[in-house]
Amino acid sequence: DAEITQSPRHKITETGRQVTLACHQTWNHNNMFWYRQDLGHGLRLIHYSYGVQDTNKGEVSDGYSVSRSNTEDLPLTLESAASSQTSVYFCASSPGRSEAFFGQGTRLTVV
C-alpha cells in the first residue's frame, strides 16, 4: 500500500544545531507540504513543492528550508534550531484538489 512516512518520530536537539526532518511518500504525488502544529495555531504551512526542483515558501518559512530532488522525498531543514521551533511537524502529500495524506508527525524539542 502507498504511504507517507516521517522520521524521526521524536527529536531533541540543542539551540543552534542544524536539524533535518525526513518525509518520504510512495503515492507518487507531485504536491508535498510541510506544516507545523502548535497549540492555538492549527496547522501552519512552512514550505511546499509542486514537483521536482520546485520549492515555495509558506506563511512561516523563516529559519526553514526544503529541497526536492525526486518525487518521493521532501526533507525539511532547520538551519539553526531555536526554541521557538519546538513543535509537532507534519508532512503531507496530495495529487491536488483531492485528499491530502499526512505522515505520522515528528515531535521536535529544541533545548
Sites of contact with another protein (CB under 8 A) = 31, 33, 35, 40-45, 48, 50, 56, 58-59, 90, 92, 94, 96-100, 102-105
- Beta carbon of residue 58, minimum distance to another protein (angstroms, whole number): 8
Q: How are the residues of the chain apportioned to helix, strand and coil, as percentages rounded to the nearest 5?
A: 5, 55, 45
Burial of 88 (0-12, 13-18, 19+ CB in 10 A): middle
CB of 43 to another protein, least distance (A): 4
Give me the least distance between CB of 75 and another protein, in Å please.
18
In the complex, what is the shortest distance from the CB of residue 45 to another protein, in angstroms, rounded to a whole number? 7
Toward another protein, which CB reaches closer, 27 or 35?
A: 35
Q: State which residue, 47 or 85, has the beta carbon closest to another protein.
A: 47
Dihedral (Cα; 56, 57, 63, 66), 10-degree rounding: -20
What per-residue string of b and e applies to 69-82 under the rule 16 or more CB within 10 Å gives b?
Answer: eebbbbbbebeebe
CB-nearer residue toward another protein: 60 or 81: 60
Report the amino acid identity of residue 20.
T
